[in-house]
Structure 1
Amino acid sequence: MVRLPEPAGRGWPSGTGKPGQSGPGDQEGEDLLLRVTAPAHGGHCVARPVDDPSGRVVFVRHTLPGETVRARVTQRTSRAWRAEVVEVLEPSPDRVSSVWPEAGPFGVGGGELAHVCLPAQRVWKQWVLADCLRRVGGPQVAQAVAALPGAAAPGGVAVEALPTQVYQGADSSREVSVQGTGTRTRITLEVGEEGQVGMHAFRSHRVLPLRSLPLAVARIQELGLLEEPRWRSRYRPGGRIRAVSPSRGEPIVLLDGQVLTAAARPADRPRVEEVVDATGLGLGELRYLLHPGCFWQVHVDAPTVLVDRVVRAALGGSPGGASPGDHTRTPLDPGPAHGQRVLELYSGSGLLTLPLAMLVGSSGQVRSLEGDAQAVRDARRNLRGCRWTQVAAGRVTPRTVSAAGSAFDGGGPDVVVLDPPRQGAGRQVVQAVARTGAGRVVLVACDPAALARDLAVFLRSGYRLEALSALDAFPHTHHLEAVAVLVRN
């Protein structure tokens, strides 16, 4: 039996509650004895009452398949009941002491798998990915994935650890898993109405205070954002704090729009420098300058791994790319890349645009489209030496995709690379991409359900799935990063 720690200063919600209300603590609910079955998308598990195995389905957080738990109902609707675990009666062998108890039951969001050992987290994500591809994508997507070389059972793709999650032990042939903490280079905190510094409770606007930030890299933890007087004196109720630890230079803190140094003084240059190792692509180190408020991959390894994986898939004819642990070991043959026409959508500050432009060379063309004006300014600065690249500002819509695809000299794009936000590109944008006639498409997705929907449209639009890989870029959460490679039939 495992008694979960009570959230500090809050106490367990209890009572009868009112049906239909949402958010932990917003509705006090009854306790249920549940037997847990499969994981579900969103960090939940499917569970049913112990005394009624065919009874009502309850989506429960902070548990594991195979466990028997006592859970407190937090939401009742006509479509679903939701609950949070308060006691584990029969624990799974994959359960560990949470690396972040404050993100446990009735705590902050963003660490819903912190009680699961890392290898089991990746199995969890593999199962959810396969389920979304089958259930949301439909039979055509499921069959396409199952037909891939090396597809993992059950009908899915293995989720790969990033380099900092694996190190070589004394026996160099043996991989040893590490905790997966200290990997996030960007975090966001909120200041509550009573001055508490923390994060939002799951599915709520309430700010819960925090005492630790174990998922953040050490340099962010060392800032003392939660307790140091130099910071707390600057906080105001309702404020937002964003901490950024770039790969080069000191951390930066954005406080209600003001850019501050690690010493809590106004920054002279509101820019951070990111350096990405592109040795495996023959490009050495890539240097980026960007505003600290702009989007950047949060896992310390993700920029390097994604650059290698996506660029190889787009230009090198390598469907899956090298594994995360050996991205610099297999040189890319640059020959096929020269002169290619590349359309990139949702291009951000140019993380992928820069290596794509460098490899196609002046005989090629790269056109990118991004909706965030600050990111566009950063990308144009980062691509200043690549005159054959055009970075356009604007929302990605069917009309703008069609316009960008028809603006190339000598025909439409050879390759389309797109990295849409969590909700995916959507049916109309995918259809517009297909109409460009591109022979190859590389789709980056951070949500398995959105990935499944977009893949289904691509397959109906004349493409076949050549490769699919998944990366554990968000340890201790249910999120993953996937890269799909499609070619025209």
Structure 2
Amino acid sequence: MSPHRRSAPPRRPAPAPATPEYVTLAVGAPAHGGHCVARPVDDPSGRVIFVRHALPGETVRAVITEKNSKIWRADAVEVLTASPDRVRPLWQDAGPGGVGGGELSHVALPAQRTWKRWVLADCLRRIGGAEVVDAVTALPGTAGGAVSVEPMPGDAAAEADPNPRVRERAGAGTRTRVSLAVTDAGAAGMHAFRSGTVLPVHSLPLAVQAIQDLGLTERALWRKHFRPGMRITAVAPSDGDPLVLLEDPDAPGQAPTVLTAAGHSTGRRRVGEAVDATGLGLGRLHYSVHADGFWQAHREAPTVLVDRVVRAVLAETPTAAGTRPGDEPLDAARTAGTRVLELYSGAGLFTLPLVALTGQVHSLEGDARAVGDARRTLHDYDGAQLSVGRVTPAAVAQLGRFENAGGADVVVLDPPRRGAGREVIQAVAALNPSRVVLVACDPAALARDLGTFLRAGYRPAAISALDMFPHTHHFETIAVLERG
């Protein structure tokens, strides 16, 4: 998972009118980014307004939040006709006029996944084009290009729990990493949607219990450490106690101050993460990463992604599905010797199981510290060649060659939100691997990259989507491609 997936600084949109402007909207289909497409009820063919905190089929009263020559945005502040999929918002701080990061918490969790399925299908159609839609539609279970978005195992179990309180909290308490900022008044907060303004937050319902128990939003213990503009990162690793990292706004580039759960300074800079790879026959995998380095935030994401991606790379029949009950572990005798090129490899989440099963992985990552973490984790594996550098066509061509063995058999790409891009994909195709596994965290980038792969002679053999970010519009997609 590439460190470059860190969120970009909030953009500063064109200001809303000084005097609030209200409009009554008929709400249509979801749009990429957490909005719905809406139009004024008295002008059904009029200007499109992208409205948040609404649901398809609703009628809402909304306040305009941004206007420019290309786009108008609004927040629904009153629901006049409600959707049956509307629920009491899980996180009030992320409601209209509030912080970003919980924009779907007013939507029932199954309906959130329907929302994301619609968005993925729309991106494949609008951005990928007819060729991409036809190729995806030809796959089993994806009629109309509509790939189902699957819940994470724990979230699915919570949804099915007989206790209504557990069901109501499904999808909450899953984030092992939380980023906050300090308000001008010295309180923990987050940025308002598409804004540099930091608003106070009063709870962190998406965070795992270990982070909630820190009390960052309410305990005086932390206030004495906070300074306006400071960035706060709370980390709850799978191995060990939580940490709180504070970045001083007046000392850019300086290492963050690291505090224990009791608010005491500590020299601890790394955390241990464990991934259950039993389904692959590898037992429990252990990683060492910097506390402020990139690691998948959902507590189940590393395990689920390792299982899915490694099977996508090495299973005899291409698949984007994970281990099922009764599945046999991968046959190490068959997978040994498979040559894998891994691009955007981060701290080695996939590198470790792949080299354990194949003995040959060349990886490339642009973040030197992440590669240092991977080397620490993989120091016992001579077959792992870990390189630091930008993913460019030249680098792909060089690393895709394996000494005395020819080119890569499989290429894995896990690019940042913008996607891999045409030139990198063409360089991958020039290696002529029999299989490519593409992990995408943005459906628009996925659609563009799939179109490029199709034009380079590859066809999707399997695709799956995972709801790794419940209560937000984000999700992850895994696509397996083979030569057409």
Q: Normalising by structure 1, what TM-score?
A: 0.91
Distance in 2, matches of 1:27 and 1:113, equals 27
Whether 1:44 aligns to 2:39 is no
Distance in 1, matches of 2:168 and 2:140, equals 26
Structure 1 residue 26 displacement after superposition: 7.5
Identify if the C-alpha distance between structure 1 residues 327 and 255 changes in structure 2 by more than 3 Å, giving closer, same or farther.
farther
Greater shift in the superposed pair: 427-436 or 208-217: 427-436
Whether 1:302 aligns to 2:293 is no
Identify if the C-alpha distance between structure 1 residues 467 and 26 changes in structure 2 by more than 3 Å, giving closer, same or farther.
farther
Structure 1 residue 478 displacement after superposition: 0.3
- 1:157 corresponding residue in structure 2: 147
Distance in 1, matches of 2:106 and 2:161, equals 27
Query: Which residue, out of 356, 359, 364, partners 1:358?
Result: 356
Question: Secondary structure in 1 aligned to 2:379?
Answer: coil
Counterpart residue type for residue 294 of structure 1: G
Structure 1 residue 277 displacement after superposition: 0.3
Query: Which residue, out of 180, 189, 192, partners 1:198?
Result: 189
Counterpart residue type for residue 265 of structure 2: P
Structure 1 residue 332 displacement after superposition: 2.4
Structure 1 residue 51 displacement after superposition: 1.1
Identify if the C-alpha distance between structure 1 residues 411 and 89 changes in structure 2 by more than 3 Å, giving closer, same or farther.
same
- On the 8 A contact 1:371/1:396 being kept in 2, the answer is yes
- On the 8 A contact 1:219/1:245 being kept in 2, the answer is yes
Question: Secondary structure in 1 aligned to 2:122?
Answer: helix
- 2:257 corresponding residue in structure 1: 258
Provide, for residues 439-483 of structure 1, a one-character-per-residue CA deviation record: whole Å limited to 9, x for no partner. 110000010000000110011001011011000000000000000
- 1:418 corresponding residue in structure 2: 413
Counterpart residue type for residue 426 of structure 2: Q
Matches within 5 A, 1:264-279: 264-279=263-278
Question: Secondary structure in 1 aligned to 2:157?
Answer: strand
Counterpart residue type for residue 351 of structure 1: L
Distance in 2, matches of 1:340 and 1:422, equals 28
Provide, for residues 35-58 of structure 1, a one-character-per-residue CA deviation record: whole Å limited to 9, x for no partner. 001000000000111111111111
Structure 1 residue 431 displacement after superposition: 1.1
Provide, for residues 382-434 of structure 1, a one-character-per-residue CA deviation record: whole Å limited to 9, x for no partner. 11111011110111112211221135431110000110111111111111111
Task: Give the superposed CA RMSD.
Answer: 1.9
Q: Normalising by structure 2, what TM-score?
A: 0.92
Identify if the C-alpha distance between structure 1 residues 318 and 188 changes in structure 2 by more than 3 Å, giving closer, same or farther.
farther
Q: Which runs of 4+ in 1 moved over 6 A?
A: 23-26
Identify if the C-alpha distance between structure 1 residues 323 and 359 changes in structure 2 by more than 3 Å, giving closer, same or farther.
closer
- 1:13 corresponding residue in structure 2: none
Question: Secondary structure in 2 aligned to 1:234?
Answer: coil
- On the 8 A contact 1:322/1:330 being kept in 2, the answer is no
- 2:371 corresponding residue in structure 1: 376
- On the 8 A contact 1:167/1:177 being kept in 2, the answer is no
Matches within 5 A, 1:69-88: 69-88=60-79
- 1:482 corresponding residue in structure 2: 477
Structure 1 residue 226 displacement after superposition: 1.5
Structure 1 residue 372 displacement after superposition: 0.9
- On the 8 A contact 1:22/1:74 being kept in 2, the answer is no
Identify if the C-alpha distance between structure 1 residues 32 and 348 changes in structure 2 by more than 3 Å, giving closer, same or farther.
same
Distance in 2, matches of 1:48 and 1:240, equals 38
Counterpart residue type for residue 480 of structure 2: V
- On the 8 A contact 2:274/2:287 being kept in 1, the answer is yes
Question: Secondary structure in 2 aligned to 1:475?
Answer: coil
Provide, for residues 253-299 of structure 1, a one-character-per-residue CA deviation record: whole Å limited to 9, x for no partner. 11111222111222233110100000000000000011011111100
- On the 8 A contact 1:37/1:45 being kept in 2, the answer is yes
Greater shift in the superposed pair: 230-239 or 85-94: 230-239
Whether 1:454 aligns to 2:449 is yes
Alignment size in residue pairs: 461
Distance in 2, matches of 1:403 and 1:373, equals 19
Distance in 1, matches of 2:161 and 2:290, equals 41
Counterpart residue type for residue 90 of structure 2: V
Distance in 2, matches of 1:42 and 1:114, equals 14
- 2:404 corresponding residue in structure 1: 409
- 1:113 corresponding residue in structure 2: 104
Q: Percent identity, aligned pairs only?
A: 61
- On the 8 A contact 1:144/1:464 being kept in 2, the answer is yes
Higher relative contact order structure (alpha carbons within 8 Å, sequence separation ≥ 6): 2
Matches within 5 A, 1:166-181: 166-167=156-157, 179-181=170-172
Structure 1 residue 329 displacement after superposition: 5.1
Question: Secondary structure in 2 aligned to 1:167?
Answer: helix
